[in-house]
Amino acid sequence: MIEKANSKTVLIAMTGGVESTVAAYLLKKQGYKCIGIGLQLFADGEETGPFADVAVLDLNRIKNICNYLDIPFYAVNASDIFTDKVLDPLIGRILSGQTFEPLVFLNNVLLDVLLEKSQKFQTTLVATAHYAKVLKNQKTGSFELMVANDLEFDQSYSLAKLEQKHLENLILPLSEIRKKEVEKIGELIKVEFLPRIKSKYAHIMFDPRMSKLVEARSSKDLRRRGNIYDYKTDASIGEHNGIHHFYVGQTNIVIDKKNEHQIDPLKQIISIVPYKGNIFIDYPNKLKYKEALVVGFNSAANLDMSVPISCYVKMSPKGEKIPCKLYYKNNNTALVEFDEPRSGLLVAGQFLVFYNRQSDKGKVIGSALVEIGGNFDEYSYNTLPDKKEDDEDEDSHKKPNHLDKLGF
């Protein structure tokens, strides 16, 4: 590809950070004709919530970087598609007591916009500065998303929702190099990069600024007020001022300081009932799951789904790869059966990415959203601890596997 690069134009997403700048710099060195594209995701003055840390808010500074690199720059207003594909689903999930992976869906918006704009420049090639690989399968002719060389900063999870139409036209200039090398190359480029604020929260959904975004984009009657209950006793602990301030898995729960009841800091939110505004808490060590029903399964090309697949799943961008078995059903649904029972809760809307290997050099074989997770039996999806089994040994109450009765 490098030998033929002199005759090819590539549109590259520019954020003003060191990665996208180095990616454009490397493409130019390889002989590509680069065109920088910056996406405007919010209108001026709009509430950005935690997206203030990831959205491009100063397009002029990106234009200055492109001028230094001697490449043309175009700003694209992508606020409508961003609202439709990311913000609206995000707000809906939060108000439903579920979760979402907005940065994954943002990457799909980014690639959709790049491909659309590429037609104007009579090219099909687009590029981003993600740490991942795209390789062509010489047998099938399809394109596969692979793990990056730099495992610590691998971003294959964030790109796992991309389809063949994206992968076949995508160049990832940072796929073969490590972040430290990117930073060294960045020192050679004498520009002022836009700083990227490192969040102190483990996930963007846990950022308290998210509640401001919800308030700016939803009606008050949807942000239900209600009570916080102890799951085991059904006792009311206190009132809260809106479910959008909370999320499943949250600890150190803060309610009205005037309330005489104090919430045990060892307990966490295990369920939110949005239409009633009820929030339930319990000790997390009682929560376990063995299976998950997933929807919207996005399969890698030529994946044989007619038989169960032994694979590994990541449940967050920085999460570990967990051994599991995948049973594909139909209508893009599947059952995930973990090799060992897991502690905690799987939250509806959680994004799962499946890999063929646990170690390096693996590839993405699919992705999906959690519909429900727990310990499935022939009668129900047992997603929460049984109140009647208080302090009994859960291992002595293992339920038989009845996946056949669920249709799997």
Give me the CATH number covering residue 83. Answer: 3.40.50.620
Q: How confident is the model at residue 395 (pLDDT cuts 50, 70, 90)?
A: very low
Residue 205 counted as domain residue: no
- Assigned token pair, 282: 């319990």
Residue 195 counted as domain residue: no
Give the Cβ contact number of residue 360 at 10 Å. 11
Question: Are residues 110 and 17 part of one domain?
Answer: yes
What's the average model confidence in pLDDT over 91-110? Answer: 97
Q: How far apart are CA 130 and CA 107, in angstroms?
A: 10
What's the average model confidence in pLDDT over 60-82? Answer: 96
Give the Cβ contact number of residue 367 at 10 Å. 25
How large is the greatest C-alpha to C-alpha distance in the chain, in angstroms?
72
Question: Are residues 115 and 56 part of one domain?
Answer: yes
Residue 375: the pLDDT is 76
Question: Are residues 244 and 298 part of one domain?
Answer: no
Residue 384: the pLDDT is 62
Q: How far apart are CA 249 and CA 236, in angstroms?
A: 19
Residue 313 counted as domain residue: yes
The total number of structural domains that make up the chain: 3
Q: What share of the chain is helix, strand, coil (3-state, %, to 5)?
A: 30, 25, 45
What interhelical angle do 18-29 and 59-69 show, nearest 10? Answer: 30
- Assigned token pair, 62: 């990106």
Q: Which residue has the higher pLDDT, 396 or 123?
A: 123
What's the average model confidence in pLDDT over 229-257? Answer: 88
Q: Which residue has the tokens 């646990």?
A: 358
Give CA torsion, residues 216, 77, 128, 321, to 10 deg: 20
Question: Are residues 160 and 45 part of one domain?
Answer: yes
Contact 103, 196 (CB under 8 A): no
Question: Are residues 13 and 144 part of one domain?
Answer: yes
Question: Are residues 253 and 308 part of one domain?
Answer: no
Query: What does 251-273 look like in DSSP terms, one character per residue?
Result: -S----TT-S----TT-EEEEEE
The phi, psi pair for 323, rounded to 5°, reads -65, 140
Residue 316 counted as domain residue: yes
Q: How far apart are CA 281 and CA 303, in angstroms?
A: 40
Q: How confident is the model at residue 261 (pLDDT cuts 50, 70, 90)?
A: low
Instruction: State pLDDT tens for residues 42-58.
Output: 988 899 999 998 888 78
Residue 368 counted as domain residue: yes
Question: Are residues 332 and 264 part of one domain?
Answer: no
Residues 6+ apart with CB under 8 A from 270: 231, 248, 280, 281, 282, 284, 287, 345, 384
Q: How far apart are CA 318 and CA 51, in angstroms?
A: 19
343: β partners: 288
Instruction: State pLDDT tens for residues 133-153.
Output: 999 999 999 999 999 999 999
- Continuous H helices in 72-199: 79-82, 88-95, 102-118, 164-167, 179-188
Residue 214 counted as domain residue: no
Question: Are residues 123 and 44 part of one domain?
Answer: yes
Residue 262 has pLDDT above 90, yes or no: no
Question: In the 3-class helix/strand/coil scheme, how is 365-402 assigned residue by residue?
Answer: EEEEEEEEEEEECCCCEECCCCHHHCCCCHHHHCCCCC
Instruction: State pLDDT tens for residues 157-172.
Output: 999 999 999 999 999 9
Q: What is the span of the domain harbouring residue 61?
A: 5-188
Contact 176, 23 (CB under 8 A): no
Strands 351-355 and 364-376: antiparallel
143: β partners: 136
C-alpha count within 13 angstroms, C-beta hemisphere, residue 56: 25
- Assigned token pair, 310: 């032994």
Which of 285, 304, 330 corresponds to the end of one domain? 285
Which of 137, 171, 188 corresponds to the end of one domain? 188
What is the CATH classification number for the domain harbouring 310?
2.40.30.10
Q: How far apart are CA 305 and CA 355, in angstroms?
A: 14
C-alpha count within 13 angstroms, C-beta hemisphere, residue 37: 26
259: β partners: none
Residue 218 counted as domain residue: no
Question: Are residues 308 and 265 part of one domain?
Answer: no
Instruction: State pLDDT tens for residues 280-301.
Output: 999 988 788 999 999 999 999 9
What's the average model confidence in pLDDT over 321-337? Answer: 95
Question: Are residues 331 and 262 part of one domain?
Answer: no
Residue 369: the pLDDT is 97
Tell me the percentage of the chain whose pLDDT exceeds 70.
Answer: 88
Residue 401 has pLDDT above 70, yes or no: no
Q: How confident is the model at residue 196 (pLDDT cuts 50, 70, 90)?
A: confident
Residue 99 has pLDDT above 80, yes or no: yes
Residues 6+ apart with CB under 8 A from 158: 103, 104, 107, 130, 317
Strands 278-282 and 322-328: unpaired
Residue 200 has pLDDT above 60, yes or no: yes
Residue 194: the pLDDT is 86
Question: Are residues 234 and 105 part of one domain?
Answer: no
What's the average model confidence in pLDDT over 349-359? Answer: 94
Report how far apart the first and last C-alpha atoms of the chain are (Å, whole number): 44
Which of 188, 210, 242 corresponds to the end of one domain? 188
Residue 203 counted as domain residue: no
Q: How many residues does the chain have?
A: 408
Tell me the percentage of the chain whose pLDDT exceeds 90.
Answer: 74
328: β partners: 334
If you average pLDDT over every residue of the chain, what do you get?
A: 89
Consecutive H or E run containing 12: strand 9-13
Of the listed ranges 34-38, 88-92, 230-234, 390-394, the one predicted with least confidence: 390-394
Question: Are residues 248 and 184 part of one domain?
Answer: no
What's the average model confidence in pLDDT over 375-389? Answer: 58
The phi, psi pair for 239, rounded to 5°, reads -90, 155
Residue 197 has pLDDT above 90, yes or no: no
